[in-house]
Amino acid sequence: MASKITSVPPASISGISRPGRGGVVVKPKDMKGTLRRLWQLTKGQRRGLGWVLLLSALASAASIFSPYLTGRIVTMIVGGDAITFVLLVLAGLYVGDWLIRFLQQYLTASIGQRIILYIRKVLFDHIKKLPLAFFDRRQHGELMSRLTNDVDNISITISNSLTLLLRYIFTIVGIFAMMLCLSPFLTLVSLAAVALILLLTRTVTKRTKKLFSEQQKDLGALNGQVEESISGLSIVKAFCREKQMEEAFEEKNDKLCSISTKALIWSGYLMPLMNVINNLCYVAIAVFSGMLFINGSISDIGLVTSFLLYVRQFTRPFVEIANIYNSFQTAVAGAERVFEILDEQTEPEDRPDALELKNPHGDIVLNHVRFGYNPDKAVLKDISMSIPAGMKVAIVGPTGSGKTTIINLLARFYDVSDGEILLDGHDLRDYKMKSLREAFGVVLQDTAMFAESVRDNICYGHAQASMEQIREAARIAGADGFIERLPNGYDTILEQGGDELSQGERQLLTIARAVLANAPIMILDEATSSVDTVTEQKIRKAMLKMCEGRTSFIIAHRLSTIRDSDRIILIEDGAIAEQGTHDELMKLHGKYAMMYQTQSGKAL
């Protein structure tokens, strides 16, 4: 069965998308509180909103006065009077309306974009200060959605919905006042139609709210399925799982199709029924006004004309406001998602008496360190070690034993749950974060390339480096050979963030980046995990040279790369199982010796 690709096309009214007519309406949890916070957040960025309010009132003038003037023209024609002046006034009213709306849109767009620019800056600035623990429990796609989609929803509301909402409110008030002046009795008849429309809207939206909520969840599940399938397509093909992938996609897509159809059908009830009510109201007013004119209660035929035109315009803003309100709710819900990020605790601030780490020696001590990413599950249970400056330490152990966690704690990506880590006699938390991290040269297991030139990627942590220094760092890392073969050498732009390079080539670039940083403490987390044996030997020599005279920590599964380390520490189940030099550990005939024998194929 062919998959049904569903979409939720929002209706467009006055150039703005309306979630209330087919789009997904996401209701905020606390509208008043969120609006209050949004108002406080944008303080200083709202210059010009007063003019927008004034222009919104003036923009409703054509809707309020044009029916009255039209009625006057009819009266004057019946009475044989000249209508030139009134026609000129009416034409001027419409021209002025166009000019006012243009100025209003111009002001609103500039204010809205200025506010959104500020919100994006605040949000992005906050995100970069968040600890890694936050990103470990969040999907990157979701964060991107909050930076883009949610902020865009706020932008649309400020730029369009807010303007229309103000205009419609002024229009309703003005038209209602004019209708009362013309005929209080006919006005009461018109209000009955408004009451029916509000009752109908409440009844239908009560049902569609639940349907659109389910639709949003199903849409998110489908998006996750598509993203997972595309990002893991090579694995899917390798394991011949295309059929299962398609079945999973069809299942989620069919479910979304079904719920979207129900939601659209229910929301589709609203407008036809409203039109019926509007038309019946119009007919009723026409009949009543005709009867009143015949029996003499109304002597001015122009009044009847004006009132009928007002009736046509009076109910429409209520429908528009209902749709704008739905759009408004979605925007406020987006603002709530933005505030959820802003409420996240950032990395600990430097203490008031924090020390500047100058000329670090590299003496490191771990005292009874305990840590767990989840408070209920400890990864490191009781780690203690003393590393003198200049020592080259290798950390080995089975997957999940806590090797990389030690590195994360040393670089202070996380803080210890218990115990302490000392650098040159001071707790890591005593130092200013920036100066502490500048003391570390890091090559992590997951390579990270940016959509910039190869040169910029290598000097990412040392922007003032000369071209000679960059080339030397690449040569030491063994990366200069493949860089020279790239189309533009060191000026080649990694447009896909390095995806066009092999995993091994990306790793060589990260090593070159660490070499160029020239930090006193080096951390290499699986630096040779993705290179061939020939390149491994080159990196091994580069590592020896790079780590010379520096405190260094090397995590490796290939034990052949760490044989000449000053100390090898075997971590198992979050604790130190063995430690010593390669020769010492081999003589123990323990777990390290067994691991080495398994990899090398040599008997003990």
Two structure tokens written together for 361: 């020696």
pLDDT of residue 8: 35
Number of domains within the chain = 3
Same domain membership, residue 111 and residue 214:
yes
Which residue, 297, 314, 342, sits at the end of a domain? Answer: 342
442: left (phi over 0), alpha (psi -120 to 50) or beta: beta
pLDDT at 4: 35
pLDDT at 22: 41
Q: Does residue 1 register a pLDDT over 50?
A: no
Q: Are residues 435 and 454 in the same domain?
A: no
Can you tell me whether residue 371 is helix, strand or coil?
A: strand
465 to 438, 457, 459, 542, 548: CA distances (angstroms): 15, 12, 7, 20, 21
Query: At residue 472, what is the residue type?
Result: E
Q: Model confidence at 193, in pLDDT bands (50, 70, 90)?
A: confident
The dihedrals phi and psi of 465, each to the nearest 5 degrees, come to -65, 145
Question: Tell me, what's the pLDDT at 567?
Answer: 92
Band (80; pLDDT cuts 50, 70, 90): confident
The most confident of the ranges 277-291, 412-426, 447-461 is 412-426
Quick one: which of 143, 126, 574 has its CA closest to 373? 574
In whole angstroms, give the CA distance from residue 520 to residue 193. Answer: 79
Q: pLDDT for 348-366, tens place per residue? A: 788 888 888 888 888 999 9
Q: Which residue type does 544 have?
A: L
List phi, psi (to 5°) of 507: -70, -35
What are the residues facing 380 on neighbouring strands? 371
CA dist 150 and 336 (Å) reads: 9
Cβ atoms of 558 and 528 closer than 8 Å:
yes
The mean pLDDT value for 215-222 works out to: 77
Cα dihedral 320, 322, 327, 328 sign? positive
Which of residues 6 and 312 earns the better pLDDT score?
A: 312
Pair 251, 116 in one domain: yes
**What is the C-alpha separation between 40 and 468, in angstroms, rounded?**
51
Give 583 or 312, the one with higher predicted confidence.
583
362-393, pLDDT tens digit by residue?
899 999 999 988 877 888 988 999 999 989 99
pLDDT of residue 531: 63
Residue 325: is its pLDDT beyond 80?
no
pLDDT at 507 over 60: yes
Do 501 and 590 lie in one domain? The reply is no
Least confident span in 271-275, 283-287, 439-443, 549-553: 271-275
pLDDT at 568: 92
Q: Same domain for 484 and 429?
A: no
464 and 429, same structural domain? no
In the predicted model, is pLDDT for residue 81 greater than 60?
A: yes
Per-residue pLDDT tens digits for 173-183: 888 888 888 88
Mean pLDDT over 340-353 rounds to 82
Question: Could you read off the pLDDT of 537-563 as tens digits, one per residue?
Answer: 766 676 777 777 889 888 887 787 788
Is residue 13 in some structural domain?
Answer: no
pLDDT digits (tens, 9 = 90+) for 144-161: 777 777 777 777 777 677
pLDDT in tens, 159-174: 677 778 888 888 888 8
426 shares a domain with 459:
no
**Same structural domain for residues 566 and 428?**
yes
* Residue 94 lies inside a defined structural domain of this protein: yes
| Residue-level pLDDT at 7 | 34
In a domain, residue 541? The reply is no
252-278 in b/e form (b: 16+ CB < 10 A) is bbbbbbebbebbbebbeebeebbeebb
Q: Are residues 434 and 473 in the same domain?
A: no
195 and 296, same structural domain?
A: yes
Asked, for residue 202, whether it belongs to a domain, the answer is yes
Per-residue pLDDT, 569: 92
Q: Which residues contact 255 (CB under 8 A, 6 or more apart)?
A: 218
pLDDT averaged over every residue in the chain: 80
Q: In what order do the strands lie in the sheet with 426-427?
A: 380-387, 364-371, 418-423, 426-427
Structure tokens that stand for 570 in this block = 């075997």
Residue 34 lies in a domain: yes
Pick 29 or 557 by higher pLDDT: 557
How far is it, in rounded angstroms, from Cα 28 to Cα 48? 27
If asked whether residues 464 and 598 sit together in one domain, one would say: no
pLDDT of the residue at 26: 57
Question: Domain end: 518, 540, 573, which one?
Answer: 518
Q: What is the mean pLDDT of residues 410-430?
A: 89
- Is 526 within the bounds of a domain? yes
Lowest-confidence region among 164-168, 497-501, 506-510, 550-554: 497-501
Question: pTM (2 decimals)?
Answer: 0.64
- Give per-residue burial for 196-226: e unless 16+ CB within 10 Å, then b: bbeebbeebbeebbebbbbbbebbeebeebe
Q: Can you point out the beta strands (E) in 476-563?
A: 521-525, 551-555
Instruction: Please name the amino acid found at residue 166.
Output: L
Q: What is the domain-level CATH number for residue 215?
A: 1.20.1560.10
Using a pLDDT cut of 90, give the percent of the chain over it: 6
> Is 351 among the domain residues?
no
pLDDT at 475 (0 to 100): 87
- How is residue 150 annotated by DSSP? I
Query: Which CATH number characterizes residue 495's domain?
Result: 3.40.50.300
Q: Is residue 5 part of a domain?
A: no
DSSP state of 160: I
Range of 479's domain?
444-518
User: 472 and 418: one domain?
Assistant: no
Distance in angstroms (rounded) separating the CA atoms of residues 434 and 101: 51
Cα end-to-end span (Å), the chain: 61
Residues paired with 525 in a beta bridge:
555
Instruction: Tell which wins on pLDDT, 529 or 202.
Output: 202
**CA separation (Å) from 497 to 492, 506, 508?**
12, 10, 15
CA–CA separation, 120 and 122 (whole Å): 5
β partners of residue 422 = 365, 427
Per-residue model confidence (pLDDT) at position 386: 92
- The listed range with the strongest mean pLDDT (29-33, 127-131, 213-217, 265-269) is 127-131
The token pair at 408 is 């994360």
pLDDT bucket at 21, cuts 50 / 70 / 90: very low
Report how far residue 300's alpha carbon sits from residue 540's, in angstroms, rounded to the nearest whole number.
100
Range from 10-24, 125-139, 446-460 carrying the lowest mean pLDDT: 10-24
Band the pLDDT of 23: cuts 50, 70, 90: very low
pLDDT band at 601 (very low <50, low <70, confident <90, very high): low
